[in-house]
């Protein structure tokens, strides 16, 4: 695959300013208050506007709050469904391919990775109808394949969005990397182009790898594979935890987090 002209999935030019240490406490507080409003049935759009306006957040900072917040009821389900890596052996694993790959690419290239209220690692990059590889793509894929093999699942289903351009090329590249490393040729590894990985994974009978909150709500078992890979391979990556610290409190709800 031809590399993206940017060459890296690195930070947005303004991220060092927008997510510098001086903004951390405000972003954590905003995430807590956004979540408090969601728990009381405010729409995400209305809640984000209220909190964003209150703290004067930029659109990118608001996107971070949106990605990391969540209502308490969903948070409880996310906690119950979280599967430890060592418990994956012998189970099928279904992966939202772009969701995982872009997060690992971002971490590897020095981009910002966020930890949401549910403890999952998320990026601020996104695919808008088109994907092109960057210099970090092959290494990110190699880490993903190695980590998944070490979990010893019964099979792996790697789903890519068919409507996204270059998905076919990415499928071929993954197959090539699998062919180069035949350390576990018996492991069934399926790479599928589907109209919507979200729809498939909501019904998946196994362990799901995604950070999409709407999908996680439907999953009985979910693994934060991005978090595991980043902790092991990019320990000095730019990771910002937007959960309130134990000493912090939400001055809207009046409780500690």
What does the pLDDT look like over 160-191, one tens digit per residue? 999 999 999 999 999 999 988 766 667 899 99
CATH topology for 83-244 is Rossmann fold (3.40.50)
pTM, entire model: 0.90
What Cα–Cα distance (Å) separates residue 212 from each residue in 31, 100, 148, 224?
A: 17, 10, 19, 11
Residue 256 confidence (pLDDT): 39
Residue 2 confidence (pLDDT): 44
Give the span between the Cα atoms of 146 and 177, in whole angstroms.
11
Residue 148 confidence (pLDDT): 96
Chain-centroid distance of CA 124 in Å reads 9
> Could you tell me where the DSSP H helices lie in the chain?
15-18, 24-39, 44-55, 59-68, 72-81, 97-108, 137-150, 167-180, 197-202, 213-216, 225-233
Average pLDDT over the chain reads 90
What is the Rg, in whole angstroms, of the alpha carbon atoms belonging to the chain?
18
Residue 223 confidence (pLDDT): 97
For residue 253, what are the contacts with CB-CB under 8 A and spacing of at least 6? 32, 33, 36
User: pLDDT tens, 98-112?
Assistant: 999 999 999 999 999
The ranges assigned to domains in the chain are 15-70, 83-244
Q: Which two tokens stand for residue 14?
A: 């303004």
Phi, psi (degrees; rounded to nearest 5) at 119 = 85, -5
DSSP β-ladder status, 121-123 and 113-115: antiparallel
**Is the Cβ–Cβ distance between 242 and 134 less than 8 Å?**
no
């Amino acid at each position: 695959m031809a590399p993206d002209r940017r060459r890296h999935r690195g930070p947005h030019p303004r991220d060092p300013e927008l997510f510098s240490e001086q903004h951390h406490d405000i972003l954590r507080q905003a995430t807590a208050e956004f979540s408090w409003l969601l728990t009381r049935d405010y729409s995400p759009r209305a809640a984000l506007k209220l909190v964003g306006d209150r703290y004067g957040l930029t659109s990118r900072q608001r996107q971070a709050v949106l990605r990391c917040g969540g209502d308490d009821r969903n948070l409880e389900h996310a906690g119950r469904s979280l599967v430890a890596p060592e418990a994956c052996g012998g189970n099928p694993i279904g992966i939202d391919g772009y969701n995982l790959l872009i997060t690992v690419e971002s971490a590897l290239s020095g981009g910002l990775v966020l930890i949401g209220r549910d403890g999952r690692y998320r990026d601020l990059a996104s695919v808008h109808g088109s994907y092109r590889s960057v210099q970090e793509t092959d290494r990110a894929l190699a880490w993903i394949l190695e980590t998944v093999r070490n979990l010893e699942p019964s099979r792996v289903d790697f789903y890519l969005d068919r409507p996204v351009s270059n998905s076919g090329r990415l499928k071929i590249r993954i197959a090539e990397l699998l062919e180069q490393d035949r350390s576990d040729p018996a492991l069934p590894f399926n790479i599928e182009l589907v109209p919507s990985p979200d729809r498939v994974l909501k019904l998946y009978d196994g362990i799901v790898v995604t950070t999409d909150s709407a999908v996680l709500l439907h999953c009985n078992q979910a693994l934060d594979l991005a978090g595991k890979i980043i902790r092991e391979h990019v320990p000095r990556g730019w990771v910002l935890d937007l959960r309130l610290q134990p000493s912090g409190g939400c001055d809207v709800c009046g409780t500690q987090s």
